[in-house]
Amino acid sequence: MPTRIRISCLVLALASVALGCGRKGPESFAVQGQVTVGGRAADAGVVRFVPLGDESGAARGTVTAVIAGGQYQIQADGGLQKGQYRVEVEVQEKTGKKIMADIGPETAEIDEVVLVSSRQHAGPDSPLNYTPESRASGRFDIDVPGK
């Protein structure tokens, strides 16, 4: 094989490796914040970021974060992609009662929990929106009304 062809093949191979080592997929963003219900820190629950439209051109999915001690966090790796999201917040609280619940094939006694955030904010009618931006701090504090 002539030297010129070998050099061309080597350059193409190195370019392919360099391109393959870069970032894969669309840019994603971290977000974190405090969740309160009527100004009081949320004990437990979830925050869901549901994509609106298809602004990024790539398939975006719902990203869910667990609320613990009034805080939630989503890492950039696997986080929110560019575009607008509807934010659904479901805050739950223990009632202090025990109930029997089916867990798989067995029944067990568990703590009863109830929804304490508004039903509107917990579902598809939530008025909350968030758009991640690379210039932003990635902080999104949420205060939802109680039931």
Closest CA to 141 of 32, 28, 48: 32
Q: Which residue has the tokens 């008025």?
A: 127
Residue 49 placed within a domain:
yes
* C-alpha span between 83 and 80 (Å, rounded): 8
Q: Per-residue pLDDT tens for 57-66?
A: 556 789 999 9
Q: Which residue has the tokens 């904010």?
A: 121
Closest CA to 80 of 17, 30, 118: 30
Q: What is the CATH number of the domain that holds 68?
A: 2.60.40
Q: What is the pLDDT of residue 72?
A: 96
**In this structure, how many other beta carbons lie within 10 angstroms of the beta carbon of residue 138?**
17
Residue 8 placed within a domain:
no
Residue 4 placed within a domain:
no
Could you tell me which residue, 72 or 104, shows the higher pLDDT?
72
* C-alpha span between 59 and 55 (Å, rounded): 10
Q: What is the pLDDT of residue 55?
A: 58
Residue 9 placed within a domain:
no
Number of domains in the chain: 1
The pLDDT of 14-32, averaged and rounded, is 64
Residue 10 placed within a domain:
no
Residue 86 placed within a domain:
yes
Percentage with pLDDT > 90 across the chain: 49
Q: What is the pLDDT of residue 144?
A: 92
134 forms beta bridges with: none
Q: Which domain holds residue 132?
A: 25-144
Q: How confident is the model at residue 123 (pLDDT cuts 50, 70, 90)?
A: very high
- Residue 15 reports pLDDT greater than 80: no
* C-alpha span between 91 and 74 (Å, rounded): 17
| pTM for the predicted model, two decimal places | 0.74
Residue 79 placed within a domain:
yes
- Residue 76 reports pLDDT greater than 80: yes
Residue 1 placed within a domain:
no
Mean pLDDT computed over every residue of the chain: 82
Percentage with pLDDT > 70 across the chain: 76
Please, are residues 93 and 44 in contact by the beta-carbon 8 Å criterion? Answer: yes
Q: How confident is the model at residue 90 (pLDDT cuts 50, 70, 90)?
A: very high
